[in-house]
Amino acid sequence: MGYLRNAWYVGALSREVNEQPLGRVILDESLVFFRAADGSPVAVADRCPHRFVPLSLGKVKHGELECGYHGLRFGRDGICIANPHGNNAIPRGANLRHYPALERYGFIWIWTGDIERADESRMPVFPFLDSPDQFTAVHGYLPVAGNYQLVVDNLLDLSHVEFLHPMFSQAEGVAGHRTEFFQDGDVVVANRWKPNVPLQGLAGHMFWTSPSTRSDARSNMRWSAPGYLNFDLGATEVGATVEEGICLPNAHLVTPETEFKSHYFWSIARNRLLDDEAMSARLHDVVDRIFRTEDGPIIEAQQRSMGLTSDLMSLHPVTLDPDIPAMRARRILARRIEEEHQASGRKDLGRASAVA
């Protein structure tokens, strides 16, 4: 089916791109990330045009990327700017495909489509990752050996929590929830509202301080294409307003690596204990451990079990009620990809913008 190319994808955590170049495969292409002299992120093709060695094995010098084999040097636009050999002439065609890149919300984002269409207004918006007075956030990354839509399915159908995450399974079982699914344009929403339930989940277990033993809990997921999820997680005293309560808003950002592999980036913010670094470390470790030991392995087993396809629907799965949001998201994404193909009149839109 291909990928949606005219979109921003997270390529790396901000903290992953520092003194050393970082190589990563995104939408089947090998990229290298580094920082220009002013610290701004750069993403270019990870293959030197001279001997095809990955530039991620090279060095960053004064914001330029030097090949580790023979020393060709490239600038922030992927243009070769130094050849240490012979008469030092820059060889023709010694340039790298360049991907528009920007840094926001603690992530490095890249645009994989037509360079002329790269447009910051098409970035998803996560105010809680940009409001340090109100929220503190931790960030994480997990590679997953499964198609990215399987990761999206997992996030859009939280009915799995009861079965996959014993830490969060509830005494009342899945029956205690009010769930609500709807589609708003190309946005899919899956809300789970649990009024007046025993304390539970991250809010109830890690941040609750009042003597109450019951809360109004919510876990509301909101998807937009290609793989952005805005997760409103929280709990309040029974009957209180959301603003008064514990808010743990999450961003989940799923980037295809190949048809069968994904990059799963996440960030979880909190409106409590903003300066508590030990809590930040603990929260990172709890969330990371759940993904790494429970969601990741089951998605990878699912992909292996699906064999040589990444298209779940082609296998005619049995469908349950909580699958509706993910199925809508799949349909929207398929339409958006098809529209992109139609608009471009070509199958591989992305490569059209490669430096010639």
Nearer to a copy of itself, 209 or 305 (CB): 305
For the bound state, the minimum distance from the C-beta of residue 271 to a copy of itself, rounded and expressed in Å, comes to 31
Distance CA 125, CA 287 (A): 22
Exposed/middle/buried for residue 198 (C-beta within 10 Å: 0-12, 13-18, 19+): middle
CA angle in degrees (0–180, nearest 5) for 168-171-173: 80
**Between 86 and 211, whose beta carbon lies closer to a copy of itself?**
86
* Cβ nearer to a copy of itself, comparing 94 with 334: 94
Chain contacts with a copy of itself (rule: CB under 8 A): 30, 46-47, 49-54, 57, 66-72, 83-87, 91-94, 153, 157, 159-160, 162-164, 173-175, 297-298, 301-302, 305-306, 312, 315, 317-323
Q: Smallest distance, Å, CB 175 to a copy of itself?
A: 8
Smallest separation (angstroms) from a copy of itself to the CB of 29: 12
**Between residues 46 and 216, which has the closer beta carbon with respect to a copy of itself?**
46
Q: How far is the CB of 321 from a copy of itself (least distance, A)?
A: 3
Residues in the chain: 356
Query: What is the H or E stretch that residue 286 is in?
Result: helix 277-290
Using an 8 Å Cβ cutoff, are 246 and 272 in contact? yes
Q: Which is nearer to a copy of itself, 171 or 175 (CB)?
A: 175
- Cα angle: 106, vertex 254, 59; to 5 degrees: 55
Q: Provide, rounded to whole angstroms, the least separation between the CB of residue 65 and a copy of itself.
A: 13
Spatial separation of the C-alpha atoms in residues 228 and 107, rounded to whole Å: 13
- 21 near 66, Cβ under 8 Å? no
